[in-house]
């Protein structure tokens, strides 16, 4: 019976047992088998419990503990994480993705030193436990990490197509920790690789106590985010966008703010790293879309016509095949035309994601009538070809090109080149992060269509937007009256 429990495939012999019972005892034999077999299975499970296979992480910890028992020996732990396996799957298919990753793993295994061990973890990361040695310092483990990354990132051929997977590595030396425990060493290396993944692609990071504190803070934010949404602490703030031709308000960008009860008002840079890659990003996207369209409807009812509201959509949002339907439902709920919504997409998404689902979703949103802005243009290395593959309406020029553009001739040339490219592609332009009147004036002079930044207004909570719109409308009307009298 123990064998049957351990090898479930032997259940195929059950019909033979039924026939044998009937041949030996007839109907009485079948009845005995029907009643006795379940009882025998239950009894066998109690007396002969199934052997449990240890998790791979437990095997890693056991190996580390074995090395750490000898205080004269040094070791280290490295965790390697491929930057975006889902991109490989979307681009080449699941079978080819597995082939690529298996090839990388084989290369890494072949580059290890005698005594080093490689463990693939359940989450897709790889752990390298360094063999015991008398001396192991930071310089040596950095060289090891660099060599592992170089080996893993060597291009390989799939048919006639060269393919390259990139990876991040985090590591920790055993002597960095007070506790000589395998679990602590593994967790420290995982903290380091999490930090490396925040700076991907191809980042390498060493463990430090500061990283551990930052990780604990992110974990705390992640744990409380869903509750914060339910409690109304996640709110959309809005920053006005102006036309440089007329000075009129041409839109509002929605920016998430977490009104944390203990830590005050948190910007996306403070809490997004805690929820990226989780289902919480989808919750944030839905909340921002809902609040933004509701605010737009409120401004309409108050008599202030804001042409469009811009909402940021993450790569995770854009990979959702049902995104266009969700957007359509949100628009219908507020009886809002699709032209009133602008979808903002980071340039890094366009540059790094040769993703059919993302391109298809953007095209469907554009076909619905939504505007599509390419955010942070100039920072993500998007090619002209990749830009043309996406149904864009406008390029948002990144703040790094805008800062001091009225005094820096090189930046003026760069902005002019971007504006010329946009014109050739039939796209509008918006400069973000405009903080001085000089920058505003220079961008208008160069021909940038729209501007946004602190010189106009800081991001405002929805209840303050109406007050700002009223004041700005009076200011604009006064300026127009002065201009008429001057003529």
Model pLDDT for residues 295-352, shown as the tens digit of each residue: 999 999 999 989 999 999 998 899 899 999 999 999 999 999 999 999 999 887 776 5
Q: Is the pLDDT confidence value at 63 over 50?
A: yes
In DSSP terms, which residues pair with 126 in a beta bridge? Answer: 80, 120
Q: Is the pLDDT confidence value at 44 over 90?
A: no
> Region 202-207: what's the mean pLDDT?
92
Q: Minimum mean pLDDT among 53-62, 126-135, 287-296, 300-309: which range?
A: 53-62
Length of the chain counted residue by residue: 487
> What is the predicted pLDDT for the residue at 367?
95
Considering 50-64, 80-94, 160-174, the range whose residues carry the highest mean pLDDT is 160-174
> Region 107-117: what's the mean pLDDT?
90
Phi first, then psi: give them for residue 464, nearest 5 degrees: -95, -10
Is residue 5 very low, low, confident or very high in pLDDT (cuts 50, 70, 90)?
A: very low
Q: Minimum mean pLDDT among 40-49, 128-137, 254-263, 285-294: which range?
A: 40-49
Q: What are the tens digits of pLDDT across the range 398-421? A: 999 999 999 999 999 999 999 999
In DSSP terms, which residues pair with 253 in a beta bridge? Answer: 239, 310
> Region 82-109: what's the mean pLDDT?
74
Of 82, 76, 225, the residue nearest 152 (C-alpha)? 82
Q: Is the pLDDT confidence value at 120 over 90?
A: no
> Region 212-231: what's the mean pLDDT?
90
> What is the predicted pLDDT for the residue at 25?
66
Query: Cα–Cα–Cα angle for 214, 219, 222, nearest 5°?
Result: 125
d(CA 416, CA 413): 5
> What is the predicted pLDDT for the residue at 51?
42
> What is the predicted pLDDT for the residue at 408?
94
d(CA 149, CA 436): 44
DSSP code at position 339: G
> What is the predicted pLDDT for the residue at 478?
81
Is residue 94 very low, low, confident or very high in pLDDT (cuts 50, 70, 90)?
A: low
Q: Is the pLDDT confidence value at 43 over 60?
A: no
pTM: 0.71
> What is the predicted pLDDT for the residue at 48?
44
Q: What percent of the chain is predicted at pLDDT more than 90? A: 53
Is residue 59 very low, low, confident or very high in pLDDT (cuts 50, 70, 90)?
A: confident
Q: Token pair of 122, please? A: 């359940």
d(CA 200, CA 178): 29
> What is the predicted pLDDT for the residue at 35?
56
Greatest Cα-to-Cα distance within the chain, rounded to the nearest angstrom: 115
d(CA 37, CA 44): 10
> What is the predicted pLDDT for the residue at 8?
44
Rg (CA), the chain: 30
377 three-state secondary structure:
strand
> What is the predicted pLDDT for the residue at 173?
94
Of 426, 415, 346, 424, the residue nearest 393 (C-alpha)? 426
> What is the predicted pLDDT for the residue at 206?
94
d(CA 189, CA 206): 8
User: Is the model more confident about 452 or about 3?
Assistant: 452
d(CA 34, CA 451): 79
> Region 207-211: what's the mean pLDDT?
90
- Average model confidence (pLDDT) across the chain: 85
Q: Is the pLDDT confidence value at 354 over 70?
A: no
Is residue 379 very low, low, confident or very high in pLDDT (cuts 50, 70, 90)?
A: confident
> What is the predicted pLDDT for the residue at 230?
94
E strands along 334-415, which residues? 341-346, 371-377, 394-397
Q: Minimum mean pLDDT among 54-68, 185-199, 242-256, 460-474: which range?
A: 54-68
- Does a cis peptide bond (omega within 30 degrees of 0) precede residue 89? no
> Region 194-206: what's the mean pLDDT?
88
> What is the predicted pLDDT for the residue at 356?
75
Query: Cα–Cα–Cα angle for 81, 227, 264, nearest 5°?
Result: 90
d(CA 79, CA 84): 15
Considering 48-62, 81-95, 143-157, 401-415, the range whose residues carry the highest mean pLDDT is 401-415
Residues 236 and 295 sit within 8 Å (Cβ to Cβ): yes
């Amino acid at each position: 019976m123990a064998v049957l429990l351990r090898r479930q495939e032997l259940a195929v012999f059950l019909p033979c047992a039924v026939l044998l019972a009937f041949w030996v005892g007839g109907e009485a034999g079948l009845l005995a088998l029907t009643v006795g077999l379940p009882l025998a299975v239950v009894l066998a499970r109690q007396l002969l419990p199934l052997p449990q296979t240890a998790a791979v992480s437990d095997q890693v910890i056991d190996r580390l503990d074995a090395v750490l028992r000898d205080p004269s020996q040094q070791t280290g732990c490295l965790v390697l994480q491929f930057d975006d396996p889902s991109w490989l799957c979307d681009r080449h298919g699941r079978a080819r993705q597995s082939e690529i990753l298996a090839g990388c793993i084989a290369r890494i295994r072949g580059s290890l030193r005698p005594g080093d061990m490689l463990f693939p973890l359940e989450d897709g990361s790889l752990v390298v436990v360094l063999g015991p040695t008398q001396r192991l310092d930071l310089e040596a483990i950095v060289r090891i990490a660099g060599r592992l990354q170089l080996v893993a990132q060597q291009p390989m051929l799939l048919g006639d197509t060269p393919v390259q997977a990139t990876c991040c590595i985090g590591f920790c030396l055993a002597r960095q920790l007070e506790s000589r425990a395998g679990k602590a060493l593994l967790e420290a290396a995982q903290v380091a690789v999490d930090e490396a993944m925040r700076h991907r692609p191809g980042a390498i990071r060493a463990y430090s106590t500061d990283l551990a504190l930052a990780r604990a803070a992110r974990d705390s934010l992640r744990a409380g985010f869903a509750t914060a949404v339910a409690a109304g602490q996640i709110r959309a703030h809005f920053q006005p966008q102006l036309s440089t031709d007329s000075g009129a308000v041409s839109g509002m960008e929605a920016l998430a703010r977490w009104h944390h009860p203990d830590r005050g008002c948190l910007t996306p840079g403070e809490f997004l790293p805690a929820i990226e890659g989780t289902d919480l990003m989808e919750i944030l996207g839905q909340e921002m879309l809902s609040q933004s369209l509701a605010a737009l409807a409120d401004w309409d009812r108050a008599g202030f016509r804001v042409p469009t509201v811009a909402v940021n959509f993450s790569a995770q949002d854009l990979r959702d095949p049902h995104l266009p339907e969700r957007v359509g439902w949100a628009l219908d709920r507020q009886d809002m035309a699709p032209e009133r919504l602008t979808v903002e997409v980071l340039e890094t998404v366009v540059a790094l994601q040769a993703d059919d689902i993302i391109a298809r979703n953007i095209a469907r949103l554009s076909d619905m009538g939504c505007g599509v802005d390419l955010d942070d243009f100039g920072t993500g290395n998007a090619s002209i070809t990749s830009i043309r593959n996406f149904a864009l309406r406008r390029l948002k020029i990144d703040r790094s090109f805008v800062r001091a553009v009225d005094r820096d001739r090189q930046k003026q040339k760069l902005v002019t080149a971007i504006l010329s490219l946009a014109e050739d592609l039939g796209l509008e332009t918006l400069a973000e992060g405009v903080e001085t009147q000089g920058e505003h004036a220079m961008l208008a002079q160069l021909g940038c269509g729209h501007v946004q930044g602190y010189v106009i207004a800081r991001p405002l909570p929805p209840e303050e937007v109406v007050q700002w719109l009223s004041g700005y409308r009076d200011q604009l009307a006064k300026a127009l009256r002065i201009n008429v009298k001057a003529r």
